[in-house]
Amino acid sequence: MTPLIIVTLVLVWQFVLLGYTFTLAGNAADEAVRAGTEVAPGGARDAACQQAGLDKLPNAWGGEVQCETSGGYVRATVILHVPVLFPGAIGFPFDVTGHAGAVEEVKD
């Protein structure tokens, strides 16, 4: 019975890590877009967007933040690697993606 309990706990823990990865990706994308809408247009906007997204991610998840501005709309995509049992160790061969978008703020 003990091995079955251990396997169940490991599976539950893995699902918790998967859910947390989705939460991290969504939150980082939201923060990146928020920072991108508050900066003057140009290259500084994308840099601020990417930096804000990376600031919200733990290093163990190995994230990537992509920002894009077009047509008065700021978009951010965050790609995270799903860890196996322990963040920072090995990861699954698939990634979790979080998306966010917002309309640019007009500065007077």
User: What is the topology classification, in CATH, of domain 2-103?
Assistant: Pantoate--beta-alanine Ligase; Chain: A,domain 2 (3.30.1300)
Is the predicted pLDDT of residue 108 greater than 60, yes or no?
no
- What per-residue confidence (pLDDT) applies to 77? 93
pLDDT of residue 9 exceeding 90, the answer is yes
Three-state SS letters, the chain: CHHHHHHHHHHHHHHHHHHHHHHHHHHHHHHHHHHHHCCCCCHHHHHHHHHHHHHCCCHHHCCEEEEEEECCEEEEEEEEEEECCCCCCCEEEEEEEEEEEEECCCCC
Question: Tens of pLDDT along 23-49?
Answer: 999 999 999 998 888 766 666 777 888
Rounded-to-10 torsion of CA 50, 55, 59, 63: -30
Residue 106 has pLDDT above 70, yes or no: no
Say how far apart CA 58 and CA 42 lie, in whole Å: 28
For the chain, the structural domain boundaries read 2-103
What is the model's pLDDT at position 52? 84
For the ranges 69-73, 83-87, 93-97, 104-108, which has the lowest average pLDDT?
A: 104-108
The model's pTM is: 0.80
Cβ atoms within 10 Å, residue 45:
19
- pLDDT tens readout for residues 53-85: 888 788 877 788 888 888 778 899 999 888 887
